[in-house]
Amino acid sequence: MSRQFEYAILALGETIAYERRSADDKRQALGVGAAEFLLRVHRQMPDYLRPPFHILVLLFNAWPLIRKGRFFYQLSLDDRLAELDRWRRSRLEFRRRFVEFHVSLALFGIYSNLYGQDYQHDPVVTGAPARL
């Protein structure tokens, strides 16, 4: 994976985490966790999906060059939030779906990290099978 791709995913994860922040703002840690989760998902994609998604992330990262003269990861947090919102409200379907896909994955990663202990449980002991 290219450095631009990783920077874009890190900035996207941080932006999504900030957007969904709680009162005890741990944006940096949550953003890194979300970005790591997104990178893991991209690495585990089937071979035929990895290149198109890689290109889409690079396109997303380069899109602000037109308006701001900077890549997405180089923008201030406020500008990244505004850019994410522009993609979310775009008339172009692929832009809306790109944001929807990455936000839902990032949120899944964030909440899995935050509430992961909820999923750990002791095995349920069952009795003898019922006789019919």
126 belongs to a structural domain? no
124 belongs to a structural domain? no
Query: What size, in residues, is the chain?
Result: 132
Angle between helices 77-88 and 3-19 (to 10 degrees): 90
108 belongs to a structural domain? yes
Distance of CA 32 to CAs 10, 19, 37, 88, 119, Å? Answer: 6, 14, 9, 22, 22
8 belongs to a structural domain? yes
pLDDT, tens digit (0-9, with 9 covering 90-100), for 57-89: 999 999 999 989 999 999 999 999 999 999 999
125 belongs to a structural domain? no
**What pTM was computed for the model?**
0.78
Domain of residue 112 covers 3-116
Q: How many domains does the chain have?
A: 1
In this prediction, residue 126 carries a pLDDT of 59
pLDDT, tens digit (0-9, with 9 covering 90-100), for 12-47: 998 988 887 754 555 567 778 888 889 999 999 999
Kindly state the tokens that stand for 13.
């994860």
CB hemisphere CA count around 101 (13 angstroms):
14
Split at pLDDT 50, 70, 90, the class of 116 is low
